């Protein structure tokens, strides 16, 4: 675990949640370093439902992506990113608006590919959906140039100062 990771700056409130996470109602619950499993919660609003009144399947897939990705990001330095290159979701039962609990973990890493799994459950513990995904871990780049760690850390400090001014 890398406590200097950008992820922990977001969890602590030093940096804002990404807009997609905010829209999903994302909230950090717990990270179990021994198992590498991250626990998050979502507040699924009625605005995220399909015509049947259930949370839209695409939203559930986004929630799964947003609990598997953080399982990687807790370990990454500021100059590394992880992007989803493949994902598969299995929908088990309809999800209603309200609290949805998510878990994500790294299954294994091979080279720059990280294989993950995730699960969503309702407040009663019933599994709603599961997923697997492959993320590519790479260096942070800007205009085709690799960003060194020192520059990435400086950019993060600058962003923190800008955020605190707001």
pLDDT higher than 70, residue 150: no
pLDDT tens by residue, 67-80: 999 999 998 887 78
The CA distance from 24 to 115, in Å, is 23
Q: Give the residue numbers spanning the domain of 50.
A: 6-165
Residue 72 located in a structural domain? yes
CATH code of the domain covering residue 121? 3.10.129.10
Residue 85 located in a structural domain? yes
pLDDT tens by residue, 36-59: 999 999 999 999 999 999 999 999
Residue 56 located in a structural domain? yes
Residue 1 located in a structural domain? no
The CA distance from 1 to 11, in Å, is 14
Residue 123 located in a structural domain? yes
- E strands along 52-126, which residues? 80-91, 98-110, 113-122
Task: Say whether 57 sits in a helix, a strand or coil.
Answer: helix
Q: What is the total count of domains within the chain?
A: 1
What pTM value is reported for the model?
0.85
Phi, psi of 142 (to 5 degrees): -140, 125
Residue 64 located in a structural domain? yes
- E strands along 3-146, which residues? 26-32, 37-44, 80-91, 98-110, 113-122, 127-139, 141-142, 145-146
The CA distance from 156 to 69, in Å, is 19
Residue 40 located in a structural domain? yes
pLDDT tens by residue, 104-133: 999 999 999 999 999 999 999 999 999 999
The pLDDT score that the predictor gives to residue 153 is: 60
Residue 90 located in a structural domain? yes
């Amino acid at each position: 675990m890398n406590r200097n990771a950008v992820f922990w700056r977001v969890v602590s409130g030093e940096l804002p949640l990404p807009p997609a996470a905010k829209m999903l109602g994302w909230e950090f619950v717990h990270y179990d370093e021994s198992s590498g499993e991250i626990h998050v919660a979502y507040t699924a609003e009625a605005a995220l439902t399909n015509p049947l009144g259930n949370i839209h399947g695409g939203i559930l897939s986004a929630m799964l992506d947003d609990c598997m990705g953080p399982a990687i990001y807790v370990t990454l330095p500021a100059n590394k990113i992880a992007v989803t290159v493949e994902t598969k979701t299995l929908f088990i039962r309809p999800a209603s608006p309200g609290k949805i609990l998510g878990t994500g973990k790294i299954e294994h890493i091979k080279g720059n590919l990280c294989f993950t799994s995730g699960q969503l459950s309702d407040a009663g513990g019933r599994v709603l959906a599961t997923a697997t995904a492959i993320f590519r871990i790479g260096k942070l780049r800007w205009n085709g140039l690799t960003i060194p760690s020192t520059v990435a850390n400086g950019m993060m400090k600058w962003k923190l100062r800008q955020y605190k001014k707001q």
